Amino acid sequence: MATAAQSMAGGPLGAILEVVALSHSFVHNGVVEPVLRDISFSMRSGELVCLIGRSGCGKSTLLKIVAGFLKPSQGQCLLDGRPIVKPGPDRGVVFQEDALFPWLTVRENIAFGLRGGRQARRELWREVERLLDLVGLAGYGDYLPRALSGGMKQRVALARVLIRSPRLLLMDEPFGALDAQTRDEMQELLLELSRQRQQTILFVTHDVREAVTLADRVVWLDRDSGRIGDQVVIDLERPRDRNGGPFQQYSARLHQLLKH
Protein backbone atom coordinates (compact mmCIF):
# COMPACT_ATOMS: atom_id res chain seq x y z
CA MET A 1 0.00 0.00 0.00
CA ALA A 2 1.46 3.27 -1.09
CA THR A 3 1.63 5.88 1.61
CA ALA A 4 1.39 9.60 1.31
CA ALA A 5 5.13 9.84 1.80
CA GLN A 6 5.77 7.53 -1.14
CA SER A 7 3.44 9.46 -3.36
CA MET A 8 5.62 12.46 -2.82
CA ALA A 9 8.59 10.46 -4.06
CA GLY A 10 8.92 12.97 -6.87
CA GLY A 11 9.58 15.36 -4.02
CA PRO A 12 7.69 18.47 -3.02
CA LEU A 13 10.18 20.39 -5.13
CA GLY A 14 8.38 19.52 -8.36
CA ALA A 15 4.95 19.80 -6.74
CA ILE A 16 2.31 22.28 -7.85
CA LEU A 17 -0.09 21.37 -5.07
CA GLU A 18 0.81 20.15 -1.63
CA VAL A 19 -1.86 19.16 0.85
CA VAL A 20 -0.26 19.00 4.29
CA ALA A 21 -1.76 17.26 7.34
CA LEU A 22 -5.20 18.52 6.48
CA SER A 23 -8.24 17.74 8.63
CA HIS A 24 -11.75 19.02 8.43
CA SER A 25 -14.90 18.68 10.52
CA PHE A 26 -18.43 19.91 10.04
CA VAL A 27 -20.61 20.93 12.96
CA HIS A 28 -24.21 19.77 12.69
CA ASN A 29 -26.55 20.82 15.50
CA GLY A 30 -23.61 21.20 17.86
CA VAL A 31 -22.22 17.77 17.01
CA VAL A 32 -18.75 17.75 15.47
CA GLU A 33 -18.52 15.37 12.55
CA PRO A 34 -15.02 14.81 11.22
CA VAL A 35 -14.87 14.16 7.46
CA LEU A 36 -11.22 14.48 6.57
CA ARG A 37 -8.38 13.34 8.83
CA ASP A 38 -4.72 14.05 8.37
CA ILE A 39 -4.77 14.16 4.58
CA SER A 40 -1.39 14.67 2.91
CA PHE A 41 -0.60 14.33 -0.77
CA SER A 42 0.92 16.35 -3.55
CA MET A 43 0.54 16.77 -7.30
CA ARG A 44 3.22 17.21 -9.91
CA SER A 45 2.92 19.59 -12.80
CA GLY A 46 0.86 18.09 -15.63
CA GLU A 47 -0.45 15.28 -13.49
CA LEU A 48 -4.07 14.15 -13.62
CA VAL A 49 -5.15 12.86 -10.24
CA CYS A 50 -8.57 11.36 -9.60
CA LEU A 51 -10.00 11.50 -6.09
CA ILE A 52 -12.37 8.62 -5.58
CA GLY A 53 -14.46 7.50 -2.67
CA ARG A 54 -18.02 6.70 -1.74
CA SER A 55 -20.50 9.50 -1.26
CA GLY A 56 -19.93 11.28 2.01
CA CYS A 57 -16.21 10.46 2.12
CA GLY A 58 -15.26 14.13 1.86
CA LYS A 59 -13.82 14.17 -1.64
CA SER A 60 -15.86 17.19 -2.66
CA THR A 61 -15.01 18.87 0.65
CA LEU A 62 -11.32 18.37 -0.07
CA LEU A 63 -11.78 19.92 -3.52
CA LYS A 64 -13.62 22.90 -2.01
CA ILE A 65 -10.76 23.42 0.44
CA VAL A 66 -8.20 23.37 -2.39
CA ALA A 67 -10.44 25.79 -4.32
CA GLY A 68 -10.47 28.10 -1.30
CA PHE A 69 -14.24 27.95 -0.78
CA LEU A 70 -13.76 26.30 2.62
CA LYS A 71 -11.17 26.84 5.34
CA PRO A 72 -9.83 23.56 6.71
CA SER A 73 -10.11 22.91 10.44
CA GLN A 74 -6.44 21.96 10.51
CA GLY A 75 -3.51 21.76 8.15
CA GLN A 76 -3.12 23.64 4.92
CA CYS A 77 -2.81 23.49 1.15
CA LEU A 78 0.07 25.04 -0.73
CA LEU A 79 -0.08 26.09 -4.36
CA ASP A 80 3.43 26.58 -5.72
CA GLY A 81 4.56 26.76 -2.11
CA ARG A 82 2.13 29.52 -1.11
CA PRO A 83 -0.73 28.82 1.29
CA ILE A 84 -4.21 28.81 -0.24
CA VAL A 85 -6.41 31.28 1.64
CA LYS A 86 -9.16 32.19 -0.82
CA PRO A 87 -10.53 31.31 -4.27
CA GLY A 88 -8.71 32.65 -7.30
CA PRO A 89 -8.34 32.22 -11.05
CA ASP A 90 -5.14 30.20 -10.57
CA ARG A 91 -7.44 27.33 -9.55
CA GLY A 92 -10.26 26.96 -12.05
CA VAL A 93 -13.25 24.96 -10.84
CA VAL A 94 -15.71 23.02 -12.97
CA PHE A 95 -18.76 22.17 -10.86
CA GLN A 96 -21.01 19.16 -11.19
CA GLU A 97 -24.11 21.27 -11.64
CA ASP A 98 -24.68 24.03 -14.14
CA ALA A 99 -23.02 27.16 -12.74
CA LEU A 100 -22.98 29.26 -15.90
CA PHE A 101 -24.47 32.72 -15.67
CA PRO A 102 -27.88 32.42 -17.33
CA TRP A 103 -28.09 35.99 -18.63
CA LEU A 104 -24.76 35.83 -20.43
CA THR A 105 -24.09 34.26 -23.80
CA VAL A 106 -21.55 31.49 -24.13
CA ARG A 107 -18.99 34.03 -25.27
CA GLU A 108 -19.74 36.41 -22.38
CA ASN A 109 -19.64 33.55 -19.90
CA ILE A 110 -16.17 32.61 -21.08
CA ALA A 111 -14.99 36.22 -20.86
CA PHE A 112 -16.63 36.74 -17.44
CA GLY A 113 -14.44 38.44 -14.89
CA LEU A 114 -11.81 39.49 -17.44
CA ARG A 115 -11.35 43.19 -17.94
CA GLY A 116 -8.94 45.52 -19.65
CA GLY A 117 -8.57 48.37 -22.07
CA ARG A 118 -9.69 48.40 -25.67
CA GLN A 119 -6.57 46.67 -26.98
CA ALA A 120 -6.72 44.03 -24.29
CA ARG A 121 -10.38 43.42 -24.99
CA ARG A 122 -9.83 42.89 -28.69
CA GLU A 123 -7.18 40.35 -27.81
CA LEU A 124 -9.57 38.85 -25.26
CA TRP A 125 -12.32 38.21 -27.80
CA ARG A 126 -9.82 36.50 -30.08
CA GLU A 127 -8.80 34.31 -27.15
CA VAL A 128 -12.47 33.51 -26.46
CA GLU A 129 -12.83 32.33 -30.06
CA ARG A 130 -9.76 30.13 -29.68
CA LEU A 131 -11.23 28.54 -26.57
CA LEU A 132 -14.61 28.02 -28.20
CA ASP A 133 -12.76 26.16 -30.90
CA LEU A 134 -10.71 24.23 -28.38
CA VAL A 135 -13.73 22.87 -26.50
CA GLY A 136 -15.62 22.17 -29.73
CA LEU A 137 -18.20 24.94 -29.48
CA ALA A 138 -17.22 27.03 -32.50
CA GLY A 139 -20.41 28.70 -33.76
CA TYR A 140 -22.16 28.56 -30.40
CA GLY A 141 -20.70 31.81 -29.02
CA ASP A 142 -23.97 33.72 -29.10
CA TYR A 143 -26.12 31.01 -27.53
CA LEU A 144 -27.52 31.42 -24.05
CA PRO A 145 -26.76 28.59 -21.61
CA ARG A 146 -30.41 27.50 -21.47
CA ALA A 147 -30.24 26.62 -25.17
CA LEU A 148 -27.34 24.21 -24.60
CA SER A 149 -27.31 20.53 -23.67
CA GLY A 150 -25.67 19.36 -20.45
CA GLY A 151 -22.48 18.33 -22.22
CA MET A 152 -22.19 21.64 -24.04
CA LYS A 153 -22.68 23.54 -20.79
CA GLN A 154 -19.77 21.68 -19.25
CA ARG A 155 -17.66 22.54 -22.30
CA VAL A 156 -18.41 26.21 -21.64
CA ALA A 157 -17.61 25.70 -17.95
CA LEU A 158 -14.24 24.27 -19.02
CA ALA A 159 -13.54 27.09 -21.45
CA ARG A 160 -14.28 29.85 -18.94
CA VAL A 161 -11.66 28.54 -16.51
CA LEU A 162 -9.11 27.53 -19.14
CA ILE A 163 -9.04 31.09 -20.49
CA ARG A 164 -7.38 32.07 -17.20
CA SER A 165 -4.66 29.45 -17.77
CA PRO A 166 -5.08 28.09 -14.24
CA ARG A 167 -2.16 26.38 -12.51
CA LEU A 168 -4.59 23.76 -11.34
CA LEU A 169 -7.90 22.61 -12.77
CA LEU A 170 -10.36 21.36 -10.15
CA MET A 171 -13.26 19.24 -11.33
CA ASP A 172 -16.05 18.10 -9.01
CA GLU A 173 -17.81 15.17 -10.67
CA PRO A 174 -18.24 17.35 -13.75
CA PHE A 175 -19.60 14.60 -15.99
CA GLY A 176 -21.73 12.86 -13.36
CA ALA A 177 -25.01 14.21 -14.71
CA LEU A 178 -24.29 13.40 -18.38
CA ASP A 179 -25.42 10.41 -20.39
CA ALA A 180 -22.85 7.70 -21.05
CA GLN A 181 -22.12 8.68 -24.64
CA THR A 182 -21.61 12.36 -23.79
CA ARG A 183 -19.50 11.43 -20.77
CA ASP A 184 -17.14 9.43 -22.99
CA GLU A 185 -16.81 12.39 -25.35
CA MET A 186 -16.10 14.77 -22.49
CA GLN A 187 -13.47 12.43 -21.07
CA GLU A 188 -11.74 12.34 -24.44
CA LEU A 189 -11.88 16.11 -24.65
CA LEU A 190 -10.40 16.46 -21.18
CA LEU A 191 -7.56 14.04 -21.93
CA GLU A 192 -6.81 15.90 -25.15
CA LEU A 193 -6.73 19.23 -23.28
CA SER A 194 -4.56 17.87 -20.51
CA ARG A 195 -2.11 16.53 -23.10
CA GLN A 196 -2.05 19.68 -25.25
CA ARG A 197 -1.75 22.16 -22.39
CA GLN A 198 0.14 20.04 -19.87
CA GLN A 199 -2.72 20.94 -17.55
CA THR A 200 -2.56 19.76 -13.95
CA ILE A 201 -5.98 18.39 -13.00
CA LEU A 202 -7.54 17.25 -9.74
CA PHE A 203 -10.68 15.33 -10.65
CA VAL A 204 -13.30 14.10 -8.18
CA THR A 205 -15.42 11.13 -9.20
CA HIS A 206 -17.10 8.09 -7.73
CA ASP A 207 -17.00 6.33 -11.09
CA VAL A 208 -14.21 3.75 -11.17
CA ARG A 209 -14.31 3.42 -14.94
CA GLU A 210 -13.91 7.19 -15.28
CA ALA A 211 -11.00 7.19 -12.84
CA VAL A 212 -9.13 4.44 -14.69
CA THR A 213 -9.83 6.12 -18.02
CA LEU A 214 -8.50 9.49 -16.95
CA ALA A 215 -6.05 9.27 -14.10
CA ASP A 216 -2.29 9.13 -13.91
CA ARG A 217 -2.88 8.38 -10.26
CA VAL A 218 -5.96 7.58 -8.21
CA VAL A 219 -6.27 8.72 -4.60
CA TRP A 220 -8.83 6.78 -2.62
CA LEU A 221 -10.48 8.51 0.33
CA ASP A 222 -11.74 6.01 2.85
CA ARG A 223 -15.09 7.12 4.15
CA ASP A 224 -14.83 5.22 7.44
CA SER A 225 -11.52 6.65 8.58
CA GLY A 226 -11.61 9.96 6.72
CA ARG A 227 -8.05 9.30 5.61
CA ILE A 228 -6.39 8.50 2.32
CA GLY A 229 -6.92 4.77 2.16
CA ASP A 230 -4.67 4.04 -0.80
CA GLN A 231 -3.12 5.53 -3.89
CA VAL A 232 -2.91 3.69 -7.18
CA VAL A 233 -0.76 4.78 -10.11
CA ILE A 234 -2.54 3.86 -13.34
CA ASP A 235 0.36 2.75 -15.46
CA LEU A 236 -1.40 2.39 -18.81
CA GLU A 237 -0.61 3.92 -22.19
CA ARG A 238 -3.16 6.31 -23.69
CA PRO A 239 -5.52 5.94 -25.38
CA ARG A 240 -6.55 3.26 -22.94
CA ASP A 241 -8.39 0.18 -24.09
CA ARG A 242 -11.34 -0.14 -21.75
CA ASN A 243 -11.92 -3.74 -22.76
CA GLY A 244 -8.32 -4.76 -22.22
CA GLY A 245 -7.16 -6.96 -19.35
CA PRO A 246 -5.00 -4.38 -17.54
CA PHE A 247 -7.85 -1.83 -17.58
CA GLN A 248 -10.17 -4.44 -16.08
CA GLN A 249 -7.61 -5.33 -13.42
CA TYR A 250 -7.25 -1.73 -12.31
CA SER A 251 -11.03 -1.37 -12.30
CA ALA A 252 -11.44 -4.50 -10.23
CA ARG A 253 -8.85 -3.28 -7.73
CA LEU A 254 -10.54 0.10 -7.32
CA HIS A 255 -13.97 -1.53 -7.03
CA GLN A 256 -12.54 -3.65 -4.24
CA LEU A 257 -11.38 -0.51 -2.43
CA LEU A 258 -14.76 1.16 -2.75
CA LYS A 259 -16.48 -1.83 -1.17
CA HIS A 260 -14.83 -0.98 2.14
Partner 1 sequence: MGTKDTALALLLPLTGLAAWFAVSAAGLVPGYLLPAPAAVFDAGVRYIFGTQGPYAGRFAGDLVASLSRVLLGFTLAAVVGIPLGICSGRLVVVNRLAAGPIGGLRAVPGICWLPLALIWFGIGLKTTVFLVTLAAFFPIYQNALTGARLVAPIYYQAGAMLGVSRVRGVFAILLPMAMPNIITGLRLGMGIAWAYLVLGELTGVPDGLGAVIMDARMAGQTEIILAGIVLIAVIGRICDRVLVLVLRLCFKSARRQV
Kindly list the residues in this chain that would bind partner 1 in the complex (CB under 8 A). Answer: 67-69, 86-89, 91-93, 95, 97, 99, 101-104, 112-113, 144, 160-161, 164
The answer to whether 46 and 52 have CB atoms below 8 angstroms apart is no
Q: How far is CA 184 from CA 46, 52, 121, 245, 254, in A?
A: 21, 18, 35, 20, 19
Query: Smallest gap, in angstroms, from Cβ of residue 97 to partner 1?
Result: 7
Query: Smallest gap, in angstroms, from Cβ of residue 257 to partner 1?
Result: 30
* Strand 15-28 versus strand 200-205 pairing type: unpaired
The answer to whether 37 and 72 have CB atoms below 8 angstroms apart is no
Among residues 27 and 180, whose Cβ is nearest to partner 1? 27
Among residues 36 and 66, whose Cβ is nearest to partner 1? 66
Please state, as a whole number, how many other Cβ atoms lie within 10 Å of the Cβ of residue 151: 18
Angle separating helix axes 150-162 and 118-134, nearest 10 degrees: 140
Among residues 11 and 102, whose Cβ is nearest to partner 1? 102
Beta-ladder partners of 17: 43, 79
Query: Smallest gap, in angstroms, from Cβ of residue 229 to partner 1?
Result: 28
Among residues 93 and 134, whose Cβ is nearest to partner 1? 93
Q: Distance from CA of residue 133 to its chain's centroid?
A: 21
Among residues 3 and 112, whose Cβ is nearest to partner 1? 112
Phi, psi (5° rounding) for residue 3?
-100, 170
Among residues 163 and 178, whose Cβ is nearest to partner 1? 163
What whole-number distance in Å separates Cα of residue 179 and Cα of residue 17?
Answer: 32
Query: Smallest gap, in angstroms, from Cβ of residue 121 to partner 1?
Result: 16
Angle separating helix axes 150-162 and 180-197, nearest 10 degrees: 20
Q: Report the candidate in 24, 88, 115 with the shortest Cα–Cα distance to residue 80.
A: 88
Overall residue count recorded for the chain in this entry: 260
Among residues 8 and 128, whose Cβ is nearest to partner 1? 128
What whole-number distance in Å separates Cα of residue 216 and Cα of residue 136?
Answer: 24
Query: Smallest gap, in angstroms, from Cβ of residue 93 to partner 1?
Result: 5
The answer to whether 209 and 251 have CB atoms below 8 angstroms apart is yes
Query: Smallest gap, in angstroms, from Cβ of residue 100 to partner 1?
Result: 8
Query: Smallest gap, in angstroms, from Cβ of residue 69 to partner 1?
Result: 5
